């Protein structure tokens, strides 16, 4: 008899939790990073997936059940961290951290391009870095980061907030509040339904590396890197200033997050830096954010994007067993060697394998990888980024099959 959803929930949760805490579960867990694949699998356009909560929720549920990984998919969305940080202290709780389709329409977010708007109906959304802060403005940011965000960054990064205090801007914020409630309710309902169907949550919180905030939302990646050579001290001071707001955000978030909630931190600039620059400009403020989250009882779930091979040792500076490390292009075998006893490793096949591979190749990949990284536990398999919209379904199915075959302890 196949297990009930309740039994499945317990079994999967135990599997994921044991691996997270560096132990051996019954088999290697597989995370359901379905992303836009949920839309494609259920015949939705990317536009529908990002604008219609009900259709999107149904697609996520169907895809999660059809493929039966250990955790479910989710509705894709972009970050709205400038808002969350700008409204701290005045706004009770936390202002939403996400931009979805309707929010994009309401605010006119310039750093985002959405399908059916700036892009064709069936493209994934895009995050477009721009220079929203001039290099001359570092001092102003450092002096009062929150004020800078409210008065300069929001009006520059949202078409409908261009003229703060205008009727247009006030109406946009009013509508944004309403929409955010709708979207939060839809998400809450989706999570509850997924739990009911036997899927535990993997992460429930969110945070950010301070310098990434400056690179992604304010200066643009290329500019912030040039700044590290041209105005190094200002870059460091700005990261500290923004870091103060991020720490405060974490403290507010922790009040409503159960102990042990995993807080996702996607890193962007990490692979651009040499170890020397990483240690000088990026790591100190990120480390502070990570340690603070741990003190608050959360588990930082850090996504080291791109190649992180050169910085693996820095992870050893974090308390053992208190963080989870997801890698994209980093050599997972090397990661296992360096941090395998210290932080749970999450990683797996690149998007290209789902698109261009075959089930046999997926199995070959999984078998080879698990032989090397499975021993001793502390490993979770996950798509390197997420499963791309145009993945071949047979490859998505083959992944779980291969783990069931080669991932048992």
Partner 1 sequence: MTSRGKIVDAIVDLDEPTALGLADEMIKSGVDPVEILERCREGMSIVGERFESGDFFLSEMIMAAEIFNQIMEKIRPQLKRSFIESKGKIVIGTVEGDVHDIGKNIVIALLEAEGFDIVDLGVDVPPKRFVEAIRKHAPDIVGMSSLLTVAIESTKRTVDAIAEAGLRDKVRVIIGGGRVDEYTTEYVKPDASTDNAAQGVRLCKKLLGGVEV
Q: Which residues bind partner 1 (CB under 8 A)?
A: 119, 123-124, 126, 128, 221-222, 225-226, 228-230, 271-274, 277, 306, 310, 329, 350-353, 355-357, 361, 385, 388-390
Residue 354 C-beta: closest distance to partner 1, Å: 9
Residue 351 C-beta: closest distance to partner 1, Å: 4
Measured from the CB atom, the residue of 307 and 409 that comes closer to partner 1 is 307
Residue 331 C-beta: closest distance to partner 1, Å: 13
Residue 365 C-beta: closest distance to partner 1, Å: 9
- Strand positions, DSSP E, 348-400: 379-381
Measured from the CB atom, the residue of 78 and 149 that comes closer to partner 1 is 78
Measured from the CB atom, the residue of 177 and 306 that comes closer to partner 1 is 306
Instruction: Give 134-140 contacts, CB < 8 A, sequence gap 24+.
Output: 135/219, 135/223, 135/227, 135/230, 135/231, 138/227, 138/231, 138/234, 138/235, 138/237, 138/238, 139/234
Measured from the CB atom, the residue of 44 and 245 that comes closer to partner 1 is 44
Report which DSSP code applies to 123. S
- Rounded Cα distance between 216 and 198, Å, is 36
For tokens 């990073």, the residue is 33
Measured from the CB atom, the residue of 188 and 222 that comes closer to partner 1 is 222
First vs last Cα of the chain: how many Å apart? 23
Measured from the CB atom, the residue of 152 and 268 that comes closer to partner 1 is 268
- Give me 77's structure tokens: 């969305």
Residue 225 C-beta: closest distance to partner 1, Å: 5
- Rounded Cα distance between 71 and 301, Å, is 15
Residue 43 C-beta: closest distance to partner 1, Å: 18
Instruction: Write the DSSP assignment of 280-342 as a string of letters.
Output: IIIHHHHHHHHHHHHHTT-EEEEEE-S--GGGGGGGGGSPTTS-EEEESSS-HHHHHHHHTTT
């Amino acid at each position: 008899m196949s297990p009930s959803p309740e039994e499945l929930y317990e079994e999967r949760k135990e599997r994921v939790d044991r691996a997270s805490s560096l132990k051996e579960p019954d088999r290697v867990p597989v995370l359901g990073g379905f992303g836009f694949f949920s839309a494609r699998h259920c015949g939705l356009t990317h536009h529908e997936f990002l604008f219609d909560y009900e259709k999107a929720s149904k697609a996520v549920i169907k895809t999660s059940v059809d493929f039966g990984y250990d955790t479910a998919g989710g509705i894709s969305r972009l970050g709205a961290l400038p808002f969350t940080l700008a409204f701290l202290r005045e706004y009770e709780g936390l202002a939403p951290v996400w931009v979805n389709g309707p929010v994009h329409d309401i605010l006119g977010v310039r750093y985002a391009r959405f399908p059916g708007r700036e892009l064709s109906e069936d493209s994934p959304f895009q995050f477009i870095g721009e220079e929203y802060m001039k290099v001359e403005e570092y001092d102003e940011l450092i002096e009062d980061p929150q004020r800078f965000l409210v008065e300069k960054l929001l009006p520059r990064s949202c078409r409908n907030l261009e003229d703060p205090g205008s009727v247009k801007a006030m109406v946009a914020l009013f509508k944004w509040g309403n929409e955010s409630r709708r979207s939060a309710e839809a998400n809450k309902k989706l999570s509850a339904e997924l739990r009911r169907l036997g899927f535990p949550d993997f992460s429930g919180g969110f945070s950010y590396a301070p310098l990434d905030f400056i690179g992604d939302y304010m200066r643009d990646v290329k500019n912030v890197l040039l700044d590290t050579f041209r105005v190094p001290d200002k870059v460091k001071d700005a990261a500290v200033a923004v870091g103060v707001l991020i720490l405060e955000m974490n403290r507010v978030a922790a009040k409503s997050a159960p102990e042990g909630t995993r807080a996702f931190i996607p890193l962007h600039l990490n692979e651009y830096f040499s170890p020397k620059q990483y240690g000088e400009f990026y790591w100190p403020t990120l480390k502070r954010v990570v340690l603070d989250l741990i003190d608050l009882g959360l588990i930082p779930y850090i996504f080291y994007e791109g190649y992180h091979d050169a910085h693996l040792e820095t992870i050893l500076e974090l308390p053992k067993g208190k963080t989870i490390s997801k890698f994209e292009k980093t050599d997972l075998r090397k990661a296992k060697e360096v941090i395998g006893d210290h932080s749970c490793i999450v990683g797996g096949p690149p998007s290209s394998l789902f698109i261009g591979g075959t089930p046999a190749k997926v199995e070959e990949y999984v078998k080879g990888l698990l032989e090397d990284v499975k021993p001793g536990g502390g490993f979770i398999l996950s798509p390197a980024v997420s499963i791309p919209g145009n993945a071949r379904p047979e490859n998505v199915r083959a992944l779980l099959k291969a783990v069931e075959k080669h991932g048992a302890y």
